């Protein structure tokens, strides 16, 4: 039995040696890629001066900051923090809603099965890609300079940062719809608007809402960061406390943010589960 098995294995090695060992060219290519990855990692660490001494020094300072944060206290600013947190939620909500409303027509225009013109489709997709390359923090700096400090700049930054991403996601969802309901609407004499409203939109609406809810979750966290650069909300209060080394109030704000994000994530997860 063992002799027969060994003979079969030996025969397979002669007939298909690649099954047992990769060709030398493939192994050399794999080793070369790992060497390039290792060299890039070491070069990056050297370039940013990530020395063990700096890491240990940073950990020591981080430990001091954590000790200064205990216990987290709101001081006399509890209601101010609550108002700032509501402002952050409003920024995230309005920014997400504006982005979603603008992304719906862009999604239909960017779908191949709705607008089959390849040149228009290619140009619109590249337009999506160009704007998606600009981070929300950059938009916040732009709008703070344009409209001034405050939550309005944060709303505009969130909307501009999300609209192109949502537009691309909506377009991909529309392209993947089941063709049978669409063909059924056309067969019954429906026009283009009927095809979209009766054949396409009912299929993609749950997917769109799922994306919007997920982006709202993400934007609550993003709105906190945007506040640090002057876009209002709880992030601005956190930045002020950290600037004056009021670490107890800073810790209280961080706990407020974590609790709020956890509650919104739980609610959003239940809603998305019902949609799907």
| Residue at 69 is within a domain | no
Q: Convert the pLDDT of each residue in 3-14 to its tens digit.
A: 666 665 666 666
CATH number at residue 269: 1.10.3720.10
Task: Tell me which residue range forms the domain holding 8.
Answer: 2-50
Q: Which pLDDT value is given to residue 174?
A: 83
pLDDT above 90: residue 125: no
| Residue at 242 is within a domain | yes
| Residue at 61 is within a domain | no
Token pair recorded at residue 182: 């669409």
15 and 106 housed in the same domain: no
37 and 93 housed in the same domain: no
114 and 161 housed in the same domain: yes
Backbone phi, then psi, for 113, in 5-degree steps? -80, -5
31 and 141 housed in the same domain: no
Q: Which pLDDT value is given to residue 14?
A: 63
16 and 94 housed in the same domain: no
CA–CA gap between residue 236 and residue 253 (Å, rounded): 11
Q: Which pLDDT value is given to residue 6?
A: 61
197 and 270 housed in the same domain: yes
The larger pLDDT score, comparing residue 56 to residue 14, is at 56
Helix (H) / strand (E) element for 9: namely helix 2-15
Helix (H) / strand (E) element for 255: namely helix 247-275
- Quote the mean pLDDT of the chain: 81
| Residue at 75 is within a domain | no
| Residue at 195 is within a domain | yes
Confidence of residue 35 (pLDDT cuts 50, 70, 90): very high
CA–CA gap between residue 148 and residue 141 (Å, rounded): 10
| Residue at 40 is within a domain | yes
Lowest mean pLDDT among 19-33, 148-162, 220-234: 19-33
Q: Cα–Cα–Cα angle for 94, 95, 99, nearest 5°?
A: 115
Q: Which pLDDT value is given to residue 123?
A: 82
25 and 88 housed in the same domain: no
**Average pLDDT for residues 103-126, to the nearest whole number?**
80
Contacts of 184 (CB under 8 A, 6+ apart): 199
| Residue at 73 is within a domain | no
44 and 119 housed in the same domain: no
29 and 90 housed in the same domain: no
Dihedral of alpha carbons 258, 259, 262, 267, sign: negative
Q: Which pLDDT value is given to residue 38?
A: 93
Q: Convert the pLDDT of each residue in 158-201 to its tens digit.
A: 888 888 888 888 888 888 877 777 667 677 766 667 667 677 77
Alpha-carbon distances of 60 from 65, 131, 208, 241, rounded to whole Å: 9, 40, 46, 21
20 and 151 housed in the same domain: no
pLDDT above 80: residue 76: yes
CB atoms within 10 A of CB 175: 15
CA–CA gap between residue 216 and residue 169 (Å, rounded): 15
How many domains does one find in the chain? 2
| Residue at 55 is within a domain | no
Angle between helices 78-109 and 247-275 (to 10 degrees): 40
20 and 141 housed in the same domain: no
43 and 152 housed in the same domain: no
pLDDT above 90: residue 243: no
**Average pLDDT for residues 74-97, to the nearest whole number?**
88
CA–CA gap between residue 30 and residue 23 (Å, rounded): 11
């Amino acid at each position: 039995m063992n002799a027969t098995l060994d003979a079969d294995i030996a025969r397979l090695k002669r007939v298909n040696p690649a099954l047992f060992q990769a060709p030398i060219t493939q192994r050399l290519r794999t080793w070369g890629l790992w060497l390039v990855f290792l060299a890039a990692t070491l070069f990056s660490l050297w370039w940013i001066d990530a020395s063990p001494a700096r890491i240990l020094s940073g950990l020591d300072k981080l430990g001091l900051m954590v000790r200064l944060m205990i216990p987290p206290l709101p001081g006399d600013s509890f209601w101010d923090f609550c108002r700032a947190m509501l402002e952050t939620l409003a920024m995230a909500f309005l920014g997400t809603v504006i982005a979603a409303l603008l992304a719906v027509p862009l999604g239909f225009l960017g779908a191949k099965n709705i607008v089959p013109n390849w040149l228009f489709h290619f140009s619109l997709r590249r337009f999506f890609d160009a704007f998606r390359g600009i981070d929300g923090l950059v938009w916040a700096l732009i709008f703070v300079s344009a409209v001034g400090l405050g939550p309005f700049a944060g709303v505009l930054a969130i909307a501009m940062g999300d609209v192109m991403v949502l537009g691309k996601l909506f377009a991909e969802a529309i392209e993947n719809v089941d063709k049978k309901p669409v063909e059924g609407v056309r067969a019954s004499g429906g026009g283009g608007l009927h095809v979209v409203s009766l054949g396409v939109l009912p299929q993609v609406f749950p997917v769109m809402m799922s994306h919007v809810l997920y982006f709202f979750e993400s934007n609550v966290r993003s709105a906190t960061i945007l506040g640090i650069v002057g876009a209002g909300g709880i992030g601005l209060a956190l930045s002020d406390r950290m600037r004056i080394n009021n670490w107890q109030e800073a810790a209280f704000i961080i706990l407020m943010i974590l609790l709020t994000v956890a509650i919104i994530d739980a609610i959003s997860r239940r809603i998305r589960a019902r949609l799907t």
